[in-house]
A and B are shown apart, each in its own frame.
Chain A
């Protein structure tokens, strides 16, 4: 039974930390908004679907950046300030602590995308209408879950590599591209498609687009429900992998004592 006290406590702590020093605003808000801006300016005729694409793309970029940076560095942050051993000595598995944070980080990404949306409205007077708001928000919630899981995975993965900051830089854009949120992937070379298919948010983005009323550009059109089902399945796989990674990390840490060092 996961410790819900720990997950919510950790979520709250992350929120407090964020409010105390909201430095993530810059990568997670300024960059996505710039993306939206540039996309909108590239297209001379802004029909409703282009606008939606641009805004959705900016929003997803915000969520992805935030999960990648904030969650990815989560454990390294504890290593740096020396709190990792205080965490490890408690009976709560590290994965649950980081889960609380990853959910917060994905949520902040979501709030950022909302801001992008509002900014786009104000600057371009896009007057976006969602075809089906309810379906849209359901898809958004599931993407949130999926991104939290990816954040959790990255948190554990980055502990094993000293190259985490380089990886963050390298991964940010390509993964955003394969998510299909930036350019429809049927415009991408077909060898890249399998990458997209294994990246959960790709299905989420497709579901969002359908719910928003933009026609699906997926090479495998499975419809809204199909998208969400696949997203669920992929998220479950991520979660299992993450769980294994954390187990391995815990064992390795207790073997080598390397987690306390920075």
Chain B
């Protein structure tokens, strides 16, 4: 294995579908369609992609919850179909959202129960749970019922639950979804700590800043297929040729966006506005030459600034997902 702890080869998953009316069994189009990648020990590997792209399905296959329709993978050198019990001892999955916890019992009781499923001796279990509660900042609420927890507290408990077996590999499926910025930041801190502890992490997220901040390596999946892979720098490099111009203006109308879009060499225009101003992020084929024509088209919009920007991961992501790369 060397230091490759996850190796996926041509993974395909078609969910069986039962036709509601006739009860006839069919398989739908593949949710994951030939995914291959390798994850090295200690990495934070980001799997990004739009809704329904197949991220969760990929995680479930690697996490032994789903059998691939074809292709295969090894996790820690074990086959995900045959040796799933061995794999389960050394991995865990943490999902975002507030489902997946027993809400009538306390946080501590949840953790004890899940620990017991890993045959952790009682003394070690209780020591570890104490540590975990501290790590995720739930010491005070540990003996409160989960139904009284806020969304953020539930996410913390989820994280602690995912760590009860001290796994070597953690799958984090949108761990910051629906959290406020402050708690999101804390969760990102926890993710970094896990990585520092030597764990290998596979992370999915729709937040590009988060991916940029955390991930070493990124794969972008669209419609079940990997469309791009590399480090953040490499992905950005791929869109650097078509750099980005940012324009800040006071007045904005839809037809101006149209007008900018129609300029030769403009690939993509994204606009965000607040009460005082609008910011256009314009992907262009060649940044240098485009500033002037764009500024000219924005003449009547009371320009604050027009500048050439370094592409962000989000620009790279957008261009790969939308497919004008």
Binding site for B on A (CB under 8 A): 3, 5-6, 8-10, 12-13, 16-17, 20-21, 81-83, 85-92, 97, 253-257, 260
Contacts and interface: CB of A to CB of B under 8 A. Distances in A.
B163 to A, nearest CB: 13
A143 to B, nearest CB: 27
Contact of A17 (B65, B66, B101, B105): B105
B65 A91 contact: no
Interface residues of B, number: 37
A255 to B, nearest CB: 6
The majority secondary structure among interface residues of chain A is helix
B161 A86 contact: yes
A8 B67 CA distance: 30
Indicate the member of B67, B85, B101, B116 with the most A CB atoms within 10 Å.
B116
Given A81-B101, A81-B102, A91-B88, A13 B117 contact: no
B99 A81 contact: yes
A21 B66 contact: no
Interface of B: 15-16, 57, 60, 63-67, 85, 88-89, 91-93, 95, 97, 99-105, 109, 112-120, 145, 161, 165
Contacts of A16: 104-105, 109
B21 to A, nearest CB: 15
Nearest to B98: A82
Contact of B93 (A5, A85, A255): A85
26 contacts: A3-B117, A5-B117, A6-B116, A6-B117, A9-B116, A9-B117, A10-B116, A12-B112, A13-B102, A13-B105, A16-B105, A16-B109, A81-B101, A82-B97, A82-B100, A83-B99, A85-B100, A86-B101, A86-B114, A90-B117, A254-B64, A254-B66, A254-B67, A255-B16, A255-B67, A256-B16
Contacts of B89: 91
Nearest to B116: A9
Contacts of B115: 9
Contacts of B99: 81-83
Given A21-B104, A255-B16, A13 B113 contact: yes
Contacts of A17: 102, 104-105
Contacts of B15: 256-257
B100 A83 contact: yes
Given A10-B116, A89-B93, A257 B65 contact: yes
Contact of A89 (B64, B67, B101, B105): B64
A164 B165 CA distance: 34
Contacts of B57: 257
